[in-house]
Amino acid sequence: MTPPFIVRVANATERREAESFYRADGYTPAVAPSDEVFIALADGPIVGIARLCSEQDCLVLRGMRVKVEFRRRGVASALLRAAMASASTRACYCLPFTHLVELYCREGFLPVPFDTLPAFLRDRARRYEAKGEATTPMCRAPAS
């Protein structure tokens, strides 16, 4: 059975829509020109998004968001699979909400000790914690 959505890398027009999607969800980091943006579409509009960002010589999965009415339908898993297929030769870090750790583990991420994170990610995790957002540092090893 075909899922009621498709996942692909965003084109130039969709990247602008992705920024609007993030703003509507209250997520403020801008989409950088170098980010690889993955979108899930259902009959046209974006229903989910994630992006791979190269930051300080590290690959970071950021900004995973799925519209409420599309949660628990496989959208996040499909976005993660697409992103990880693209990132297969590199290690990839992320700071998912703690309640989503199992989802990320199913896609190959493993929790890592806080003190092993690059400094910029430790700082980001502390900022999330200061806002009351519980995250778990994770990393996915490159495919061999």
- What's the mean pLDDT in 106-128? 94
Query: From the CB of residue 141, how many other CB atoms can be counted at a distance below 10 Å?
Result: 11
Confidence of residue 125 (pLDDT cuts 50, 70, 90): very high
pLDDT computed for residue 3 by the predictor: 60
**Mean pLDDT, the chain, whole residue set:** 91
- What's the mean pLDDT in 84-99? 92
Evaluate if residue 1 carries a pLDDT over 50: no
Confidence of residue 131 (pLDDT cuts 50, 70, 90): very high
pLDDT digits (tens, 9 = 90+) for 59-82: 999 999 999 888 988 899 999 999
| C-alpha separations of 28 from 20, 21, 65 in Å | 10, 10, 12
Contact (Cβ atoms closer than 8 angstroms) between residue 86 and residue 52: yes
6-140, what's its fold? Aminopeptidase (3.40.630)
In eight-state DSSP terms, residue 135 is B
pLDDT digits (tens, 9 = 90+) for 9-43: 999 889 989 999 998 888 877 889 999 999 999 98
